[in-house]
Structure 1
């Protein structure tokens, strides 16, 4: 890749519209692949007023950072909330419910932010609002609730008998 392929302006991104129900909506672009990123994921989101891009969640393997480009909103982080605005840098390290996070546009104008995350081969996410746990990696994408958990030995049988 040339140096020109390593730079992209957010105003030139082709944003894809994503919507789920009445609460979740964004126009977003995955930037990392476009600039040749290998170990970090980059995304740019534009969230309309009154919406959020994703559920309240925490990561066990991947760390995330957000940079607020334009607008204002609300950061949910663990059991706390705080106002956020253009220029803010937000760190979301790995952990459990105490590091769960979500950016909400509680304003009357679009909220734009850049997210950067480590790209791990496997990830576990927890969703405190809905009680879900998700496992991602190696082609596996599994989302369940803890009460749907199987025992470690479920379905295992004894090894075949040795042949004389």
Structure 2
């Protein structure tokens, strides 16, 4: 290895929260956060992980459930409310949250209803195909493929067509 500028593999696999470059996201009045997808930065292959900082009064994503990927969250700082299926509960720094696969009964969302930022780490299995349901809006999303851009299709759950339509 030559000099102090040589990059070691081990150093490419480590990132500290205070060194991450967060990107701002906002959508309408409800959604907003500063976030970064950490997995790709460190070369992760089968796990996805990100860091989100959600300002007071916001949430980072819609209420949703996964049929393929399992997720977990770790609250780093702050507090908020976890929506899970038909229930809610307060969460705070130090809480681990498990979101296994399923239907609407496992739908989940973190809401920052406090007066301070809510920061959390999310970890998910990375599968080549995924189906998500969005109970609040009645949508279904299909995601998949190894190529870029990946398939991403959103539709209303009641907009399906018969399997044999246009196959004659």
Q: TM-score range, shorter-chain basis?
A: over 0.9
Matches within 5 A, 1:26-105: 26-105=33-112
Over aligned residues, Cα RMSD in angstroms? 0.8
The Cα of 1:91 is off from its aligned counterpart by 0.4
Extract unaligned runs of 5+ from structure 2: 1-7
Partner Cα distance (2:135, 2:113) in 1? 20
Partner Cα distance (2:158, 2:103) in 1? 18
Do structure 1's residue 2 and structure 2's residue 9 form an aligned pair?
yes
The Cα of 1:146 is off from its aligned counterpart by 2.4
Extract unaligned runs of 5+ from structure 1: 158-164
CA offset digits 1:119-155 (Å, max 9, x no partner): 0000000000000000000121111112211111111
Give the match for residue 140 of structure 2: 133
CA offset digits 1:79-103 (Å, max 9, x no partner): 1100000000000000000100000
Question: Could you tell me which of 113, 119, 123 is aligned with 1:116?
Answer: 123
Do structure 1's residue 144 and structure 2's residue 162 form an aligned pair?
no
Poorly superposed stretches of 4+, deviation over 6 Å: none
| Structure ID, larger Rg | 1
Give the match for residue 160 of structure 1: none
**How many residues are aligned here?**
157
Partner Cα distance (1:79, 1:66) in 2? 19
Give the match for residue 28 of structure 2: 21
